[in-house]
A = this chain, B = another copy of it.
């Protein structure tokens, strides 16, 4: 635990021992500012209280911190011979990491140690062997982009405050709409904090398109609204449907086939059911790259049905969207240009740092119509420049990070062809892994031909291989294998890969490829490690 800088704590003896005590005991009248002795800025090795950085007080500190970051949190932390994590149980970690907030300031030396500890006990999501989530890797250009974004600390609501990023957002969004296939890239769009919220915006826009009166009057002015999405769609559809007052029961779950793709015939039946109940269907959420199976819903068929029933077609391509950058793989989202809106997270398949999520919309102006409130204190109309560049009012956020920059900078760095190359590489990796385990003893694929770069499989330990699959205990036993191997890998720190049960299947692994820094040897490593950790189960 750090020295808490007791020599710099207030020396006035009759003051309460701690800030918290003071707050608890003081009345308004008793309040006095703490002794200034605690903040002697002539001692530059102790943290200053001012929210202002100077070369004199922080130059050396910044350089020490950045050297540490680059070395230990980026280059060292992502080396293959280093651990992905140093796992500590949640009950134990507080005894190893100094979480406590104290009254007194820290020294710069203490702070450097704190940074080291934070790196040590954090999961290295940029490590090649972190294949656990739909994000991973540390993109070098994305990271530099983030660092600059932080240093500039902009808020993208007005051109006045954020000129470069305001224009940049519109340029990147237009380019993405072009790639989706919306005519001339026209339409609307936003960067927002995560795909879940992007899906929420999509619901809000769809609702506004058909029932603009809800903005002022609320949902209760129309009938029971109904959304359709597959039983494999992301949980955010249901979560956000609840949040926006539609209710989770009113998200009708459409069956998916064995591959996890939406059954368009069942969609049609469910729309008819909703109509027969006198409910108000207004939106279908298709998924392009489901979270677990990586399935792509049949957009063309769904678009036909949406046209027939006049429903908004949203495509949640948060995960799969990156494949649009590849001439080889964009066919997976054939007819996506027929959609009304698309969620596409560059922080997933394209490996931009978190968070970088977009909602792209075919209809111009709908975001402002649905969400604008024209706050006079921020979106003044008598500014001296063209205020159509003040785009903040289309968001439900007010202050907002410039998540565009890291992605634009990556794009600038790699070029469109580089982003394509990245996508092709991650698909290539997943296909190599697939071939590796296809006929390998002890491995069983859930799907022989997954469509995206997540691969679902079981590891069958030797003890189970002799058991008949028809025995009920087979699935019971298999269900416990993945959690056990996961525990072992977390404790060893040698890799991270997630597991889950789904569709009545017992627990299976889902390995996710979206780092183009992985090589074939890494695929072999994953397979061998799993065998090693599971052979005695």
Contacts and interface: CB of A to CB of B under 8 A. Distances in A.
A510 B380 CA distance: 13
Contact of A70 (B63, B163, B514): B63
Contact of A153 (B115, B138, B507): B138
A414 interface: yes
A167 interface: yes
B163 A122 contact: yes
A208 to B, nearest CB: 9
A142 B234 CA distance: 34
A258 to B, nearest CB: 18
Given A327-B26, A328-B31, A490 B50 contact: no
B398 A194 contact: yes
Given A54-B75, A101-B172, A412-B111, A490 B417 contact: no
Interface string A352-388: 0111000000000000001101011110101111100
Size category of the A interface is 35 or more
Given A47-B415, A101-B172, 5 more contacts: A19-B420, A34-B420, A101-B412, A121-B163, A355-B400
A99 B405 CA distance: 11
10 contacts: A18-B416, A19-B417, A28-B334, A38-B421, A52-B515, A65-B148, A196-B398, A216-B247, A235-B373, A384-B490
Interface stretch (A303-311, A468-476, A495-503): A495-503
A335 interface: no
A155 interface: yes
A453 interface: no
Contacts of A249: 216-218
Contacts of A220: 219-220, 222-224
B380 A126 contact: no
Contact of A413 (B47, B155, B165): B47
A143 interface: yes
